[in-house]
Amino acid sequence: MKAKGPEAMTRILLAGMMLAAGYVGYFGYKTGGMDAPGALDELLSGHGPAPDQYRVGVVWVAHWMTLLPHVSVPFALAAIDLVSGLVAGLLLVEVLRRSSVYAQAEATGRWLGCAALVVGVGWSMSWLMWLKRPETMAAGMLVVVMVWLLQEPGSENPDPGHPDSGRSERGGGTSLLLVGLSLALATVRADVAVALNIGMLIVALRGGRFARTRGLAAATAVAGALIAGGLQLWLMRVVYPQADYGRVKMWQLVPNLIHASRWPPFLLFLLPLGWMAVQVWRRRFAGDAVGLAVLVGAGIYMGLWVTMGKVDEVRIFLPLALGLAPLTAQMVMLRARESQVADV
Beta carbons of 120 and 93 less than 8 angstroms apart:
no
- What mean pLDDT is predicted for residues 283-292? 91
**Distance in angstroms (rounded) separating the CA atoms of residues 82 and 21:** 7
pLDDT on residue 162: 45
Would 175 be classed as within a structural domain? no
pLDDT at 159: 44
Is 234 inside a domain boundary?
A: no
Output the pLDDT for position 102.
95
Give domain status of residue 243, yes or no. no
Please write the tens of the pLDDT for every residue from 107-161. 999 999 999 999 999 999 998 877 778 999 999 999 999 999 988 654 444 444 4
Average pLDDT over residues 233-259: 91
User: pLDDT value at position 156?
Assistant: 47
266 pLDDT higher than 70: yes
Tell me if 204 is assigned to some domain. no
Residue 173 CB neighbour total at 10 angstroms: 8
Q: Does 94 fall in a domain? A: yes
Give 172's pLDDT tier (boundaries 50, 70, 90). Answer: confident
- Quick check: 176 pLDDT over 80? yes
Beta strands in 268-310 (DSSP E): none
> Are the C-beta atoms of residues 138 and 57 closer than 8 Å to each other?
yes
Pick the range with the lowest mean pLDDT from 28-37, 247-256, 312-321, 334-343: 334-343
Beta strands in the chain (DSSP E): none
pLDDT the model gives residue 246: 81
pLDDT of residue 170: 53
Of the two residues 164 and 33, the one the predictor is more confident about is: 33
Task: Examine residue 49 and say whether the peptide bond preceding it is cis (omega within 30 degrees of 0).
Answer: no
**Crossing angle (nearest 10°) for helices 135-150 and 73-98:** 20
Is residue 3 scored above 60 in pLDDT? no
| Residue 170 DSSP label | P
**Best CA proximity match to 102, nearest among 14, 5, 1, 207:** 5
pLDDT at 307: 95
* pLDDT, position 163: 43
Of 154-158, 221-225, 332-336, which range is least confident? Answer: 154-158
Query: What pLDDT sits at residue 214?
Result: 75
- Residue 218, helix vs strand vs coil: helix
Residues 96 and 148: their CA atoms lie apart, in Å, by 10
Q: What is the pLDDT of residue 160?
A: 41
50-55 long-range contacts, CB within 8 A, separation 24+: 50/236, 50/240, 50/243, 50/244, 50/245, 50/250, 51/245, 52/133, 53/235, 53/240, 53/243, 54/190, 54/232, 54/235, 54/236, 54/240, 54/243, 55/135, 55/187, 55/188, 55/189, 55/190
> Could you report how far apart the first and last alpha carbons of the chain are, in Å?
30
Indicate whether 112 belongs to any domain.
yes
Q: What percent of the chain has pLDDT over 70?
A: 90
Domain range for 312? 7-163+249-343
Distance of CA 1 to the CA centre of its chain: 38
Mean pLDDT (whole number) for 199-204: 94
Q: Name the average pLDDT for the chain.
A: 89
Using pLDDT thresholds of 50, 70 and 90, give the confidence band for residue 164.
Answer: very low
What Rg value do the Cα atoms of the chain yield, rounded?
20
Q: In this structure, how many other beta carbons lie within 10 angstroms of the beta carbon of residue 23?
A: 13
Q: DSSP letter string over 6-34?
A: SHHHHHHHHHHHHHHHHHHHHHHHIIIII
How many domains are there within the chain? 1
58-67, 149-158, 324-333: least confident range: 149-158
pLDDT value of residue 146: 95
Q: Are 331 and 287 in contact (CB under 8 A)?
A: no
Stretch 223-242: mean pLDDT, rounded? Answer: 95
Is pLDDT at 168 greater than 60 in this prediction? Answer: no
Q: Is 215 exposed, middle or buried (0-12, 13-18, 19+ CB in 10 A)?
A: exposed
Domain assignment of residue 2, yes or no: no
Q: Which of 32-41, 254-263, 291-300 has the lowest mean pLDDT?
A: 32-41
Answer whether residue 50 is part of any domain. yes
184 pLDDT exceeds 80?
yes
φ/ψ of residue 238, rounded to 5: -110, -55
Say yes or no to pLDDT of 1 above 50: no
